């Protein structure tokens, strides 16, 4: 079961990143995690995660207290799910970050 983990930066300053974990079995995707993280107030914060935990593909939007809002996504093919997750996070990370910061300010 080869596992790969790597980081892709989404901005020029290295403050926005996409953490990717992929596991394959016999050359076929078996598990995926795509997680958007932002460096806010001198620490890395998880903001959005796509994964297959709990037996299905879903998105967790994580609030500043660490509680996820889970949304199931009806894509069963992990290759398609990977493409969907990566593209969504690349396209919408700024929007996810704005939402997170708004919630962070409201929680103070």
Task: Give the pLDDT mean for 40-45.
Answer: 95
Residue-wise pLDDT for 44-62, tens only, equals 999 999 999 888 999 999 9
Q: Are 3 and 22 in contact (CB under 8 A)?
A: yes
pLDDT recorded at residue 27: 87
First to last CA, the chain: 44
Separation of alpha carbons 10 and 33, rounded Å: 16
pLDDT recorded at residue 1: 66
pTM attached to this predicted model? 0.92
């Amino acid at each position: 079961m080869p596992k790969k983990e790597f980081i892709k930066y989404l901005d020029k300053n290295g403050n926005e990143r996409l953490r990717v974990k992929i596991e394959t079995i016999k050359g076929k995707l078996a598990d995926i995690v795509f997680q958007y993280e932002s460096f806010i107030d001198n620490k890395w914060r998880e903001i959005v995660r796509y994964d297959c935990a709990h037996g299905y593909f879903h998105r967790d939007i994580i609030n500043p207290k660490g509680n996820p809002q889970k949304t199931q996504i009806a894509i069963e093919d992990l290759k398609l799910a990977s493409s969907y997750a990566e593209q969504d996070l690349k396209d919408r990370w700024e929007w996810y970050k704005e939402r997170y910061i708004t919630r962070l300010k409201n929680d103070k």
